[in-house]
Amino acid sequence: MTARTRRAPAMPEAAFQTRVMDTAQLFGWRRVHIRPARTDRGWRTAYEGDPGLPDLVLARDGRVILVELKSDTGKPTLDQQAWLNAAGPNGYLWAPGDWPRVLQVLGQVHESEASK
């Protein structure tokens, strides 16, 4: 008889988003997620500007990061990737499997705080 490898159940993106938002709050980040709304023409997210705005905008200690969240198998759209590229080192693509990295980024002490 062979042993089976048990995989953790997949975490839906909505549950992952709640986990990230709650953890960001614990680490002192200001946070926003702009939710889409259902209209007579389908789901729409009301904002002006370029399409593909990442899921989260997080700010703390003079640093603003943009975060696109996906399931472990999800891929960003070209517009989402363009935003992340424009944000440079402050643009992140996170999935549940990236949790150690999420904790590392959210828990980082900004240089201005470290020098106090």
User: Which tens digit of pLDDT belongs to each residue from 35-74?
Assistant: 877 888 887 777 788 999 999 999 999 999 999 999 999 9
pLDDT band at 3 (very low <50, low <70, confident <90, very high): low
d(CA 11, CA 8): 9
Neighbours of 85 (CB within 10 A): 9
Phi, psi at 87, each rounded to 5°: -75, -10
- pLDDT value, residue 47: 79
